[in-house]
Amino acid sequence: MPKAIGIDLGTTFSCAAYMKGDATVEVVKNHYGNKITPSVVHFGRMFREVGEEAQAKRGSDPQNTVFQIKRFMGRSADDVEIRKRPYPFEILSTRRGDAAIRVTPRVEIGKEAVESKTYCPEQISSYILKYMMVLAIEEIGCDVKDAVITVPANFNNAQRQATKDAGEMAGLNVLRIINEPTAAALAYGYGLNSQKKRVVLVYDLGGGTFDVSIVRCQGLESDVLSTAGVTDLGGEDFDRLLFEYSSAELNERGITILPEEEFGLYKSCEEAKKTLSVSERATIELFKNGKSCACEITRSTFEELCINLFEKTIECVEDAINEARVDKESIDDIVLVGGSSRIPKVQQMVRGFFGHKELKFNIPPDHAVAVGAAILAESLSSNVETERSSIRGAVKLADVLPFSLGTNVSYDTFSVILRRNTQYPTSNMEYYSNGDDDQDEMHFLIIEGESARYSENRILGICKIPVQEKPVGENTVMTTFSVDENGILSVHVKDVDTGEERSAKVQTSRLTDEERLAMVRNARLEEEYEMIQRANYEARTAFGEAVHSVKRTVHKTYSDEKKAELKKLIEREESWIEGKNPSNEDLIARASTIKEKLTQIMKP
């Protein structure tokens, strides 16, 4: 029978696992005997290489060796999170503006040139997933089709959809897209083998992403209370800081680092980082013309270089706690996962934040996410033999939305349809009407964020629907936002009068990690700020409704004189708000004045 597997598709390393017949979880080994495989793809003249073989080509053929592709998923080519890092391979923009990678495999002298090829991030990720699937098939000895794939908790809809697409491109039946810390919490709860409810904080610092989730666990049930994180912070960023430090040190000594020497230095920085987890000092070496040019770094210097990034993770921990509406004392267990959680300063800061509470390392940090995904895969797969599987259908998960979702309404107002930290799968419906006379089409922006003003949030897509030309407020469109079990959003709109329907899925995103963190910290998680935003929304809605009331009245009066007065009132009020930033008090007062003037005009 085919097996179900869990795959942790990581930024720097990937890992796969499956459940054995004795209900234990086994982590798949690659051809080198390692349980984690570099998330690297090399494009050669004849074939592609994945994993260690591809990693080895980063030094000799960097232009055709793609790494950190997870950071490109669901992003545009001009995204600041892509452009702020130097990559040796060529990054292009598709016609839609999405990021793509172009490679031109090298050829030997005298041989026919190979054409350049362009790949989207989903394709390159699918090669990694395919490789992990093949490794699993070789180890298990039977076919593998069903899989659960993990993503960072703060991945948006476009990134989740891109990951699901990559899995399907790899030939996998993607059972579920699950958040990485949720998977780790499931693995931890499964290992406890206890039916007692425990509130667990999962601190997941990997090679390229950071997530923190607060989860209520009870056996095979995991109820996510909140999540926070940064999709562009991890071990690779610490390596980059060490690379910049050592480059500056060597340059001061008159040593120039050539492009072909950069990867060797980068690898030495990665090794130095690992050494500093067990030693107070480490050496970073650059091999030039067969000779070693070295510089030394201390653990304290390394901690100073990275302290801002470390502090960002603690800020996310605070955000998650506030959003979950729990206090530090009510958290039973603090579970550290992800390879970078081994850094002593990280452990010290987390332990200090919780009053020196004991940290849990029950599962190897590099394997925890894949193990949790494998447990869920076993539970979900219809191909698993029922008599063999003791957990078939037993896993119960309730994850939450990382951001609020909604659409735009008049006067720069964000109408929230699904609020942040709503458990999914979920669906919610709202009714909207036309804001202007004689519209033949209504446009619904698909928006993600926390500000009361839609202009301060991020547009994920658009859904358009034709409508009958009617006076303002007389068209009614039912708008439904649905998030499936994978956290992927679909939008459906229906004209109530004509029955016309349209649907849309989010395909692109322009969010950066800093913007995400800013939205979480400065809007949603601070209760005071949330209250301000809600008040702003209510004030703008009051103003908008007052103006729309006047517009509707225009069509109900037969007096030319009154019509003229009403149109002047509309023109004056729309001119007043245009380009301005009125206070809530001014908006409410203005709305009240509009109603009074409307009453006066319409008096017999």
Catalytic positions, please?
A: 8, 70, 180, 204
The conformation of residue 390, written as its DSSP 8-state character, comes to S
**Cβ proximity of 151 and 182 under 8 Å:** no
Name the packing angle between helices 368-380 and 180-192 (round to 10°): 80
Distance of CA 42 to the CA centre of its chain: 26
CB contact set of 329 (below 8 Å; sequence gap of 6+): none
The tally of CA atoms less than 13 A away on the side-chain side of residue 107 is: 9
149: Cβ contacts below 8 Å, ≥ 6 apart: 6, 7, 9, 129, 163, 164, 167, 172, 174, 176, 177, 178, 373
Give the span between the Cα atoms of 205 and 310, in whole angstroms: 10
Orientation angle between helical segments 584-601 and 560-577, nearest 10 degrees? 170
HEC assignment per residue over 67-92: ECHHHHCCCECCCHHHHCCCCCCEEE
**186: Cα separation from own chain's centroid:** 20
Q: 113: Cβ–Cβ under 8 A, 6 or more apart, which residues?
A: 107
CA distances to 497, 529, 563, 567, 600 from 552, in Å: 18, 34, 11, 11, 16
Of 133, 136, 135, 141, nearest to 166 (Cα)?
133
Give the C-alpha separation, 19 to 393, whole Å.
14
Instruction: Give the span between the Cα atoms of 67 and 40, in whole angstroms.
Output: 5
Rounded CA-CA distance 21/280 in Å is 44
Q: Is the dihedral of CA 122, 123, 128, 130 positive or negative?
A: positive
Q: Before 62, cis peptide (omega within 30)? A: no
Distance CA 89, CA 97 (A): 18
Would residue 119 be called left, alpha or beta, if left means φ above 0 and alpha means ψ between -120 and 50 degrees? Answer: beta
CB 570 within 8 A of CB 550: yes
